Structure 1
Amino acid sequence: MIDNLPYRQVGTEDLRPGGLLCVADHASNYVPEEIELGIDPKLLEEHIALDVGVEGIAERLARRHNMPAHIACVSRLVCDMHRREDEPAVVPTESDGRLVPGNIGADVEARLARFHRPYHNALADLIEQAKPKMLVALHSFTPALETGDEERPWEVALLYNQDDTAARHAIRLFGEQGLTVGDNEPYSGKQLNATMDRHAEANGIPYCTVEIRQDQIETEAGQARWALLLADVMGRVALEV
């Protein structure tokens, strides 16, 4: 973490109202030294700890495509920013069949005070300053879960809860690129949409929650390709909403 903050902001030096703003809740696998999760360190490189590839895309969008980014700096296993405070999974004791023993009996209130609230308060402040035309939430998903052998065919997917206006445009535009596009897959935004529920839907701000399959963005080349594609598609979506 930078300056002991659970987030960092890129490309926010010269905010222009009415643009696009990127949010990456699961960009980091960092675990503070004083927090012992009790898991094999190798698991920190896998999807249960972070959304693989997302940080590189958010960086590129901010630095090369004029889309400022609010990026998490702590692993979702420490505190999941993409959960409500009252959800048990905000400090998960298991993920995709993997037990996280160090979180059993953890001081959830302390984690919320140290990580979750500063992250979301800073995001709310940034949104107030930037007055974005649209929010773009970035996530990635595995080709298949450890706990299930069903393959996931979508290269990219759009999640939404009540407001699907921007998602509909994005689904169409990604489809025109020849991609297999998921509609509220592989997760449903009706159940998993906490950050956008709070910062977009509650404030009447259009948004796209974009899920990219991890094998598309594991390399820097893949991240650069998707940053360019996202900048183009999201820019066109913003013109429609």
Structure 2
Amino acid sequence: MILDEKPYRHVGTSKHGGIVCVADHASNFVPADIPLGVAANLMNEHIALDIGVEGVAERMARRYGIPAHLACVSRLVCDLHREEDHPAVVPTTSDGHLIPGNIGADVEARLKRFYRPYHEALEKWLEAIEPDLIVSLHSFTPELASSDEHRPWEVALLYNEDDRAARHAIRLFGEQGLMVGENEPYSGKELNATMNRHAEAHGRFYLALEIRQDLIATRADQSRWASMVADVAGRVDLALKNET
């Protein structure tokens, strides 16, 4: 939930340099004054949040020293991983489900209340830390309700113009025996808003990471993936430093 009216929270101890984590879809919280009209059971599904991501990010922060900037509001209230002018920044549908409360919503008010404070705080946080590498953490559903497309990848790396960190991670996850997607199940050329703004625009290295949600649904799985992601991120960071 939102604390002190902030649509974000920080987990772990921030220090200069190192690796940090960002999770735009970590929460399914909806403020009481925003009636979305969505069935309660759907609020625990992928349309409302990236399932498992909060648990992975918190474990990375507390166990592996990778501090995290986590969203505290559902993507159905305001999608923080879109540009301000994107038509789905306040979505009216998601995977075939109507979001009645967002039809005719005051988009500017949502941006002012949630989107801008989230990204302004993220910008200041990154400027203060000057991280060596950002891990942008997301999860994806194995199958969309609105499509017959099967998504077999276990983990995927998304990127837009800068693929330097992603290339190392694709190799390293592959060496773990995982089925690794490159710009799957969607392309970072089209969907990379947060990293376009906070990483590529500043020349910061980043990994935009998508984990299949059924693989991080339990606490045990979240712990396993937190360890794996922390290890891969550390090795990517080292490889990048050796290149410079």
Q: Shared topology, TM-score over 0.5?
A: yes
Letter in 2 for 1:9: H
For the residues of structure 2 that align with 1:16 and 1:113, how far apart are their CA atoms?
29
Gaps of 5+ in 1: none
Distance 1:202 1:148 in 2: 34
Q: State how far apart, in whole Å, the 1-side matches of 2:63 and 2:74 are.
A: 25
Once residues 222 and 166 of structure 1 are traced to their aligned partners in structure 2, the CA distance between those partners, rounded to angstroms, is 24
Q: Distance in 2 between matches of 1:180 and 1:239?
A: 23
| CA distance in 2 between partners of 1:58 and 1:126 (Å) | 17
> Counterpart of 1:35?
34
C-alpha deviations, 1:110-166, integer Å up to 9, x for none? 000000000000000100111000100000001111011221111000000000100
Question: Aligned letter for 1:32?
Answer: P
Aligned ranges 1:107-146 → 2 under 5 Å? 107-146=106-145
Letter aligned with residue 121 of structure 2: A
C-alpha displacement of 1:38: 1.0
Q: Distance in 2 between matches of 1:185 and 1:152?
A: 9
Deviation at 1:39, TM superposition (A): 1.2
What's the % identity of the aligned pairs? 68
Q: What is the DSSP-based 3-state SS (H/G/I as helix, E as strand, rest coil) of the residue aligned with 1:158?
A: strand
Alignment partner of 1:112: what SS? helix
Distance 2:118 2:105 in 1: 19
Segments of 4+ moved more than 4 angstroms:
none
In the aligned structure 2, how far is the partner of 1:133 from the partner of 1:17? 9
Number of positions where the alignment pairs a residue of Structure 1 with one of Structure 2:
239
1:238 aligns with 2:232: no
Q: What TM-score does the superposition give when structure 1 sets the normalisation length?
A: 0.98
CA distance in 1, matches of 2:217, 2:17: 31
**SS at 1:75 equivalent:** coil
Aligned to 2:170: 171
Shift of 1:16: 2.4
Q: Distance in 1 between matches of 2:140 and 2:180?
A: 13
Query: Alpha-carbon deviation of 1:222?
Result: 0.4
Q: State the alpha-carbon separation in 2 of the partners of residues 192 and 36 from structure 1.
A: 27
Whole-angstrom distance in 2 between the partners of 1:16 and 1:35: 36
Shift of 1:41: 1.2
Tell me which residue corresponds to 1:8.
9
Matched, 1:55 2:51: no
How does the TM-score come out when normalised to structure 2?
0.97
